[in-house]
Each structure stands twice: as C-alpha cells, then as structure tokens.
Amino acid sequence: GNWLKIKCIKRQEFVIVGWTPSDKVRAFRSLILGVHDGGKLRFAGKVGTGFDTAELFRLMKIMAPLEQKAATVQAPRAEVRGAHWLRPKLVAEIAFTEMTNEGTLRHPSYLGLREDKKAAAVVLETERRTAKLTAAPANTIAISNRDRVIYPESNITKGQLADHYAAVAEIMLPWVGSRPISLVRCPQGRAKKCFFQKHDAGSFGDKVHHVGIMEKDGHEEPYLYVDDADGLMTCVQMGTIELHGWGARIEDVEKADRLVFDLDPDEGLDFEAVRAAAFQFRDILKSLGLTTFPMLTGGKGVHVIAPLTPQAEWPQVKDFAHRLAQAVAQSDPSHFTAALSKARRKGRIFVDYLRNQRGATAIMPYSARSRPGAPVAAPITWAEMKTIDAPSHFHVGDAPELKKRAASKSLAGWGRADQSLPDL
C-alpha cells in the first residue's frame, strides 16, 4: 500500500512458528512469527500480506511436514485462534515500520523465505544490541572465586582473567560474537583438568545461546555462541580460559568467512622459521588474489588469515586449503609438511590446513591461552611481523595496550577484506 512509500521501512528475519487458517481458501490467512530475544523464542506478531497465490501454496507445502501439536511460542489467545503450530525451522524476511511496546510488528509485509539462514540465528535486532558490538560493552555477570589462582606459575587469578575479558570484550566480540564456539574450560586452573566444550544442556543460563547444527549422522546438536559481554563473561565465570571459533557465523554455518593457515613449528624450531613461513604464505596467497592478516596465537605459531565473503561451502574451502598446503610442502619439503603424522614433522613447520573444514575451530583474537604466563592471541600487522619477538608477546594484563592497538590506524582494517575463494 501507500504506507510502503512514506514510512521508514525496516527489514529483518523472523522465524515462522505457525499459521492461522483462512475462511476463504484452504490455506493460511497469516503466518505467526517468532524471534529469539534474551535466549528464548517469543511471539513477534503475524504477517498476512506480501504473498501471491503461488507463494501461498508453496509455503503450505513446505510447512506441512513441520506441524506439531504443542504451541511453539506463548501468544495472546485471540491472536492465534485456530493456529497450526510448526517446529521452528523456517526463516522469513519481513518488512515492517516499527516494533510495538508489546514487542510485535507494526505493518508487517512478507518478503520471502531466507533458506540461507538458520532459525536459531534469528535474534531481535535493536539499537542496544548493535551498541554492544561497537561501544564498550558493560556486563552484569558476577565472577565468583576471584582469588582462585588459574595460572600457578605466575599467580594470575580468575579475577584477573575475568578483568582481561571484560576489558577486551569491545574489541573481541566482533570476532567471537555470533559464531559457533568451543570453550577450553579449566575450572580449577590450567594446571589441573581442562576440557573442550562445544555443546550445552542449559548449564550456562540464558546469556550463552545455542544454534542447532546438523551432525554427520543426521541429528542436530546445540552449539554454543555468545553475542554480548554478558555471554562472554558467563563463559569466564564457568571456568573458561580459551575461546575457539568456527570459520563461519551462525547466520550460515555452511559457508566459510575466512581461511586460516596455522603455521605450527616442530619442537626446537625458533620463531625465525615461523616468521619466514608467515611471509611466504602471505606472498603465495597474495599471488592468488587474497589479502591476508597475521595473528599471534599465544602458542607456538602464527595464523595467516584470509577473510572471505561467505560464498564457498566447506568441501570447496577444505579442498583449496589442503591442495595449497600440499603444494607448499612439496615445493619446500625441508621446511614444510602437510602430513598429520608427528613423526614426519621433525624439524619442519606443519601447515595445519584442517582449520578450514566444517566443525573445526581456531583460537579467537584476544582470547587468553591455557599456557604458562597467560599469553593472549593478538592481531598484528605485517610490518610488526618483521620484528615481533614471539607468538606469546602479549599476555593477560596487556588489555589497555591491546585496546589502544585495536583503535590504531594500522590495525583499523585488520581481518576485513571483500574477497572470494579463488580457483586453485
């Protein structure tokens, strides 16, 4: 109608959670919408315009296998009388003018299905949520046992580790936020039992969210993700030291948004070998049209990272990384290996291309490491790569310097490039 021409129109994705029947045709009158807000799926209103006849019947066919008896969301009875409820699997893009005080859409209009997005990734977009990623994010999570020593060799406590994450949340969330993550949890400190965790049955509360991802055997598992400082600090409160992330975001976990080549030196190799290897990979990838950025891992090696526009799917990305790693190892076998066997890595740098496959993770920028001295993974420039002393150059306690660096002109565009996976 005319309102589309004169109103300020917003567009956002919503989950289709049900439909209400029409009296005139054997189809729906309106779709019932939901959105994840505060970690829970809630009613966001209904949409009954924007469909042509073909789309209406196409949607009926798609929705039929998803019907369930139980209500998918709580909603006013008058709004959902006669509702056919659906398992929350479908995502629709909706145009609307504003959100009412009750949290429902005003003047919604259906624009189409978003088959590229997962329902679990559909969250309420507000100015407050955006601010959490661009302004210094406050958190409301209380940290218990702040005096517990987490790094015994340097007497760094849980409170000091929490202070690090609180300080770097602003610069860390653009990388770790809205990305499936695996946590290295060391509840009693790094010198005692530590374990990886990527799923959660609810013990983290509503500040740490879940995105359903299909496993190889065909069943869906809830993977963890955070999207604000409260979520990050909840992980720390639960004993997390390290945060590792997928090479894709929750909006579409099947398409990679980066390549990561992890240059992992054999025991006994000095950092000069890693430094030279990083520049060699920079030049190789540049010759293929890819801009890259180095990151100190806080461990033994360096990551050479090539951001990608999320277009290529995991089999293509893994194949590219594998063939490139093999080509480098074959052309310079005295310095590199792409072999998984540790026996074949002696005196060489292992080019870990396996970071570039579905479900694999890599350490996130500004994450602490569960290693002696509490090192931190940190972005650097290629100019700094020429002189930096070690991959463990930065440590817990360096948050003020890391924040200052992140705001500097030299690192302002770090990790960002509009580029696609080339043919190899």
- 3-state DSSP assignment of residue 250: coil
Best CA proximity match to 128, nearest among 120, 138, 119: 138
How far apart are alpha carbons 378 and 4 in whole angstroms?
A: 46
CATH code for 3-121? 2.40.50.140
Contact assessment for residue 263 and residue 349, using Cβ atoms and an 8 Å cutoff: yes
Tell me the pLDDT tens digit for each residue of 226-265.
999 999 999 999 999 999 999 999 888 999 999 999 999 9
In this prediction, residue 126 carries a pLDDT of 54
- Reported as a pLDDT band with limits 50, 70 and 90, residue 5 is very low
The owner of tokens 């601010």 is: 131
Contact assessment for residue 363 and residue 288, using Cβ atoms and an 8 Å cutoff: no
In this prediction, residue 395 carries a pLDDT of 97
**Rounded to 5 degrees, what angle do the CA atoms 274, 280, 286 make?**
135
Tell me the pLDDT tens digit for each residue of 313-341.
999 999 999 999 999 999 999 999 999 77
Q: Which residue has the higher pLDDT, 177 or 135?
A: 177
> Quick one: 53 exposed, middle or buried, by C-beta within 10 A (0-12, 13-18, 19+)?
exposed
| 335 HSE (CA, 13 A, CB side) | 15
> Quick one: 413 exposed, middle or buried, by C-beta within 10 A (0-12, 13-18, 19+)?
exposed
In this prediction, residue 12 carries a pLDDT of 87
How far apart are alpha carbons 276 and 293 in whole angstroms?
A: 15
- Total residues found in the chain within this entry: 424
How far apart are alpha carbons 195 and 240 in whole angstroms?
A: 9
**Rounded to 5 degrees, what angle do the CA atoms 369, 395, 279 make?**
80
How far apart are alpha carbons 245 and 235 in whole angstroms?
A: 14
> Quick one: 127 exposed, middle or buried, by C-beta within 10 A (0-12, 13-18, 19+)?
exposed
The owner of tokens 């009926």 is: 60
User: For 92, phi and psi rounded to 5 degrees?
Assistant: -120, 145
How far apart are alpha carbons 338 and 321 in whole angstroms?
A: 10
- Residue spans per domain, the chain: 3-121
Mean pLDDT along residues 51-78:
92
Best CA proximity match to 58, nearest among 1, 110, 122, 121: 110
In this prediction, residue 322 carries a pLDDT of 97
Q: Which residues pair with 393 in a beta bridge?
A: none
- Reported as a pLDDT band with limits 50, 70 and 90, residue 129 is very low
Residue by residue, DSSP assigns 301-350 as SEEEEEE--TTSBHHHHHHHHHHHHHHHHHHSTTTEE--S-GGGGTTSEE
How far apart are alpha carbons 7 and 217 in whole angstroms?
A: 48
Helix (H) or strand (E) holding 270: none
Residues 6+ apart with CB under 8 A from 98: 10, 106, 107
Residues 6+ apart with CB under 8 A from 203: 238
Q: For the ranges 150-164, 203-217, 361-375, 404-418, which has the lowest average pLDDT?
A: 203-217
Work out the mean pLDDT of the chain and round it to a whole number: 90
**Rounded to 5 degrees, what angle do the CA atoms 407, 236, 371 make?**
80
Q: Which residue has the higher pLDDT, 128 or 249?
A: 249
Residues 6+ apart with CB under 8 A from 412: none
Best CA proximity match to 11, nearest among 116, 128, 98: 98
pTM: 0.74
Tell me the pLDDT tens digit for each residue of 378-395.
999 999 999 999 999 999
In this prediction, residue 160 carries a pLDDT of 97
